Every structure is written in structure tokens, then in C-alpha cells.
Chains A and B, each alone.
Chain A
Amino acid sequence: MSNPITTIAPEEAVQKLKYYQKGTFTVGNRLVAEADRSVQASRDRSNALTCGHRACQGCGEALGARYAIDAAMRATNNNLIAVNATGCLEVFTTPYPETSWQLPWLHSLFGNAAAVATGVAAAMRVKRRSDIRVVAQGGDGGTTDIGFQCLSGMFERNDDVLYICYDNEGYMNTGVQRSSATPPTARTATTAAVGPEPGNVFGTGKSVPRIAVAHNIPYVATATVADLHDLERKVTKAMSVRGARYIQIDVPCPLGWGAASHDTIRVARLAVECGFYPIFEAEHGRVTQVRKIRRQVPVIDYLKLQRRFAHLFKEGQEDPRVVRLQAICDANIAEYGLIDAVDEDE
């Protein structure tokens, strides 16, 4: 495949990549052999979410959405329709008359994205256009809380929808409130860092990926913006399957987490490497693959980059609850087998 430099006709639905990220891996990538290049280095890659949107600098959700929807568009030859729940992604991408979306996109409500997507898929089936596929996307609040009933209904009916949850562990669009995806001890606007046990409490919350697996749907995966290739692979795989599919992506939110904009990938990587955010795939109710931790890091490394956990390390004193957070990581590692047992003899 050649990469001729072409001018882009304005009527073209899919905007070509612009090389404005000078000095990054993306550009450097173009210098390697074509077969080895990242798809991001291709001038022909689609660009579902164009620049100019209003996300904060370093927004993990914007990054995750762009890669996920790009991959889904590629997998479907651009025959893709997106349904979006209310939330940051919806707000920052459509400051009309500007829109960042290069594919047909519908925002209805906060809690109904899965059901609206079911409707779109039904329309495509009845019109004998099942080649046109549907993704629904929402934040963790729109997915694990208010949209949960619609989501479970869509799963249970095995509707032909890929639902992508951008998990930034809180209601960011309304100013960082607690959701059922907010981790214990995290400070949010509704779990203030005050009192004897500052931040979010232990023993609450839910794992929607595991609940999705319990629906026995064809495909469930967790992913992270720290590994975009893995994310692309999972979306591509999801699009090769019919029926209800669920991908949840860990997308750090610099604003809500109190992390530096340039640390988004780092924070996301540490979440995986400490065992806090297990990355796995499941098919038809069974976990089929996990992303192994190459070099386990203590959870503290992850926590310390984020001001939402700052109260755990006040005045040089470590909150004893850090041990419990480490225990969560260890439990994840054990449950999903994230670290291979080292053979003493080797």
C-alpha cells in the first residue's frame, strides 16, 4: 500500500490524519518499514473524532474514544453509527455548529444509550442493512449506574451492539461526583476528603465487566489507553462478532483525578501494572485471555500521581487504608492470574 500525499475533498466523510503531533512516536513511526507501522502513522487512517473538540488537555476519554471508534470504523469499512450517552464525551465533541464526529452520531439521553443503539440495530436489520453496525458509548456513570438497566436488557437480548464504556471512575461532566465505578478512598465532590475515613468508602461499587460476562454475551473486554494497540485489537475483534459486546476502557481524567495532563498514559499504565485495573477478555461467559503484568508495581506508585488520593499521604503519614487498596490489587492479580508463577528452578 502506498501513502500518496493527497488533498482531501471536503465532502469526504472520513477525514484523513493530520500530522500535527510533531516529535511523537506517531510521526516517528512513519520512518519504519510500512508493514511495521502503527495504523496511526497511516495517512489513510480514518479519524472518527477530529481535532477541535473541547476536552481537557490529556483527557483519557477523548483518546480512548478516538482509537476505539477509529478501529470500529476500519473494521466496518466506515459503515458505523454511534449512539452516545450524555457525559463529557457527548458535550466536548459536539459544540454545535461544530462536531468532531465523522460518522452518523446520535445523542438521546444519559441513561438510554444501550436501548437507543438496540433501536438503530433493529432498524438496520429490518432495512436489510445489517452491514451497518452500531456502537453505543457512555461514561461509567451512564453505564454502571443510570444506564445499567438498559445495558443489561441489551445484553440479555443479545442485540447486535458494541457498547463501549469510558471509565474515568466518576461523574466528570457534572463536576466529579462519585459513581459506582469510583474506587474506595478516592476523593470526589460527593465523597469529600474529610472526616475519619476521607474519600469513597470500601465495600461498595461494582464490576460491570464481570456482570457483562455473567450475561454470557459473545464478547467482553477491559482495555486501557495505556495500550492502544490492545484496545484497537479488541475493538476489531468485537466488530468481527455479532450480538451484544462490551468493552470498558480505563480512561484517566486529569481534571477529576487530579493528575497532570502529561501523565494520562502513565497513570493508566500504572493502574494495570499494579493490578488495580485488570485487563482481560471473555467470550460467552468465560475469561479467555488476560493481559499479564510484566513488572508489578506497588499501588502507591499509582495513587501518588493523583490528588484524589492525596489525603492518603498527608503529612508524610500513610493512611492504613492503602494496605486495603493493595489487597484489592493482589486479589485482582490472583483472581485473573495476572502474574505467572515463577518457577524456582528456572
Chain B
Amino acid sequence: MLKQIEGSHAMAEAIALCRPEVICAYPITPQTHIVEGLGELVKEGSLVDCEYINVESEFAALSVAIGASAAGARAYTATASQGLLFMAEAVYNASGLGLPIVMTLGNRAIGAPINIWNDHSDAMSMRDSGWLQLFAETNQEAVDLHIQAFRIAEELSMPVMVCVDGFILTHAMERIDIPDQTAVDAYLPPYDPVQVLDPASPISIGAMVGPEAFTEVRFLAHYKQMQALRLIPEFAGEFARQFGRNSGGLLRAYRTEDAELLVVAMGSICGTIKDTIDEMRDDGIRVGLVTIVSFRPFPVDALRNALAGAKDVVVIEKSVAVGMGGQLADNIGAAIRNLTRAPRLHSAVAGLGGRSITRASLHHLFRQAAVQPWEGTHFLDLNEKVVGREIHRKRKNRRSGPTAENILRQLAIATGLPAAE
């Protein structure tokens, strides 16, 4: 059914359609509206046979989900940013135990400095935790990915994180098609656990594993993600047949045929990139976009195929591994490194902490890649003046004070506002 609805509420409705049995809620912007929506659905009685638990922290949220999942219940939680870090130990534990929990991540920057706006630092911090990570481009896709996520998670018995851009998706009012219950029931069978705590046949789960078996356990976790490379497109295909629209999959190509320049990105920014590409195409520039939906497992083969024909690849990502560069660019570099005629790779970091990524900046960036390629990581729209002054200050004065506050003071002075001393 088509609805004019906030992204978070649409996701809440989609999650409810998946009949979760235990939902753990803890507030953190920009994810909060999702669990609030679910709480309302449980309280008003439209989501039945569901335990909605207001926990005392994200660490508890995921821990409760771990217990519920191990006891055979379909478990769901959601978080963002600091919340994901606060539950980090349990994030690894859930995947290590092979529990098919689904979690929404309302992507948000990580502090300090504290920042509630969107980027992908939180998702990247857990990229190696063993969870599958799927990135939604639109709210429609966010809705659809949640339904697919439960299917994938339970088929593999591995947890799945659905990553949705904070505010840009979570808080946007849009027209979204919410599937009906019978269709979701037909797509998603009831949870049939591969391991369960059951007094009728007692097992011990969570024993210590030493060097004699740890490698094998980890290998099998990796193997499951390799299986997911096959399952994700398969379930996306099934979804398309049943619901009549394409959502999910490993990656998507946009105007890539004949492209010399390919852009690679994840999440909601792909909309702006497509508009930019359309304009550049109008100018006769052969440019296309590869949208990565599945960051974990990383679709190495699909990417190699998609990128093989290009001369230049621009990776644009909302995260930076400080001291190294962009994680996505790094992963793509690894994927294409042994191609015989590997494209040149250009890495750009953009949209950190919610900074707008404009078409004008993208135009400039994409055009430069071919004519004036850069080495290392480019920080899109970096205010070099401010950075230069701060570096200078620090050099001059040992007790130069806190960086973030210094920069804010500079900006205040530049805009003529009174600045605290």
C-alpha cells in the first residue's frame, strides 16, 4: 500500500510485517523513530506475539537480542553511532555465536566531537565484526531490505545490519509502498533456528575455543559470508518477482555501459550522484555509477566485473579511516588490484558529520579525476583556510586548546558572530 510516511515509520511497519518476537529499544538519534514506531505498534496491539523491551543501554539491547535469538525467537534492535560502539562487544558476540539478529543502523557520525548527523563512520567501525551490512539507497529500499534481511539472516544463521542514512532517510517524508502481510508471510518463513536453548535437548553454547579450532570457526564465518554473495542476489530476485520491484542485491549499475569514468558509492548519496551523472552525460562525458548495497560480504567478483572496463574509478564515501584513508576505497583497491588493466582509483571522502554533498562539488570532483588525478584521499569541500589557520596556531602555541572548539570559534569570527575567548 502506498503511503506518505516518514522513513523511520515505514521501516517500523516493514519490521512489524516480519513478525519480530523480541524487540529491544534504546533511544539514539537518528534511529529513535524506528523503535518508537515499533513500540506504538506493539502497544496498540497491531503487532502481536512480540515482546517490546525498554532496555538500559545498547549493550543490553543487543545482549537481550542475543538471549532471545539463542532461545529461538526472531529478535530485532536498532541503533546508531555511539550506541553501536557501546554495544561493540555484543556485536562481535552475536556474529561469533551465529545468531540471526537483524539490526537497523541509522548511520551517524561518531564523536568526539559529538555530532548527530549522517555519515558512515559507525557502520565502518563494525565492518569486520562478522555481520552482513546492507546499505539502503532510498527509503523504499530500506523497507525492502529489512524484509530481505530477516530472510538472509535466518537462512545463514548470521546477523544482518541494515544501514540507512540518518536524517536523510530516517527523517524524510516520502511516498513509500508498504507491502502487505500475506506477501511478507509468503516471502519470509517462520524462524527455524539451527541452534536453540531447549530443556528437552540441552546443549551448551558459548564454550571457550582454543587455537585448535578457532581458525576453522572463523573460516566458516567467512564461508557463510561467501555463501551470502550467492544468497543476497537470489533473495533479491525472489523479492523482485514477488513484490514487483528491484531492491537489494549486491550492487547496482547506473549508466555504466560504455563508461570510462565510474563512480562507486553507498547509500542515499547515490541519488545526487545519479543526477550529476545525468547532467555530465548530457555534456557527453561517459560516466556511470556503481552502487554498492552489500558492503559485507564485499562483492569482490561483481565489482571486478563492473569496474573492469573503466579507465578511472572515483570512490566517494562518507567515512575515513584516520591515518589511512577511505575504507571503501581501500576495499575496492583490493578488489581490483590484480585486474590486467585495472582502472586508476581516486578516493574521496565526503559528507562527514552531515556536510551536504552538492552536485556542483561532485561535478568538479568527477571531472578532475580524469584530467587532474590526485594521490591519496581527497576531502571534498574541505575548508582549507580554517584548517591552515588551526595548524598554524598549534605550531605557534603549545597550549593551543581543543581543536573542535578552536575551529568553531574561527567560523564564528568569520561570520561576524561574537566568539568566546
Contact = CB atoms under 8 A, between A and B. Distances in A.
B203 interface: yes
Nearest to A110: B89
A106 B70 contact: yes
A119 B204 contact: no
Interface of B: 21-22, 24, 49-51, 53-57, 59-60, 63-73, 75, 89-90, 93, 97, 197-209
Contacts of B203: 104-105
Given A149-B57, A153-B55, A109 B64 contact: no
Given A104-B203, A106-B197, A123 B68 contact: yes
Contact of B66 (A79, A84, A111, A119): A119
A270 to B, nearest CB: 34
Interface string A119-144: 11111111100001000000000000
Given A78-B199, A108-B90, A125-B51, A119 B208 contact: no
6 contacts: A108-B90, A119-B69, A123-B51, A126-B49, A150-B57, A153-B56
Interface of A: 13, 78-81, 83-84, 90-91, 94-96, 99, 101-109, 111-112, 115-127, 132, 149-150, 152-153, 156-157
Contact of A122 (B51, B60, B93): B51
Nearest to B196: A104
Majority SS of interface residues in chain A?
A: mixed
A108 B197 CA distance: 13
A96 B214 CA distance: 12
Contacts of B206: 84, 90, 94, 105-108
A94 B49 CA distance: 34
B199 A149 contact: no
Contact of B209 (A83, A96, A149): A96
Could you say which of A95, A111, A112, A121 has the most chain B C-beta atoms within 10 Å of its C-beta?
A: A112
Nearest to B56: A153
A118 B66 contact: no
Contacts of B50: 126
Contacts of A118: 53, 55, 60, 63-64, 67
Contact of B68 (A95, A122, A132): A122
Nearest to B97: A108
Contacts of A109: 63, 89-90, 93
A157 B26 CA distance: 14
Contact of A112 (B60, B199, B200): B60
B63 A119 contact: yes
B202 A96 contact: no
Contacts of B56: 149-150, 152-153, 156
A119 B59 CA distance: 13
A112 B59 contact: yes
Contacts of B54: 157
A78 B199 CA distance: 7
Given A96-B204, A101-B204, A123 B199 contact: no
Contact of B204 (A80, A105, A152): A105
B199 A132 contact: yes
Could you say which of A90, A101, A122 has the most chain B C-beta atoms within 10 Å of its C-beta?
A: A122
Contact of B72 (A80, A105, A127): A127
Contact of B71 (A78, A84, A99, A124): A124
A118 B66 CA distance: 10
B52 to A, nearest CB: 9
Contact of B73 (A83, A96, A123, A149): A123
A112 B71 contact: no
Contact of A126 (B51, B59, B205, B207): B51
B388 to A, nearest CB: 44
Given A96-B204, A123-B73, A108 B67 contact: yes
B204 A91 contact: no
A172 to B, nearest CB: 16
B406 to A, nearest CB: 35
B205 A103 contact: no
A124 B65 CA distance: 13
A119 B65 contact: yes
B64 A122 contact: yes
A135 B116 CA distance: 38
B40 to A, nearest CB: 18
Contacts of B68: 119-120, 122-123
Contacts of A119: 22, 24, 63-71, 73, 75
A167 B418 CA distance: 58
A126 B73 contact: yes
Given A106-B67, A115-B55, 9 more contacts: A104-B199, A106-B205, A116-B64, A119-B71, A120-B67, A123-B71, A149-B60, A153-B56, A156-B56
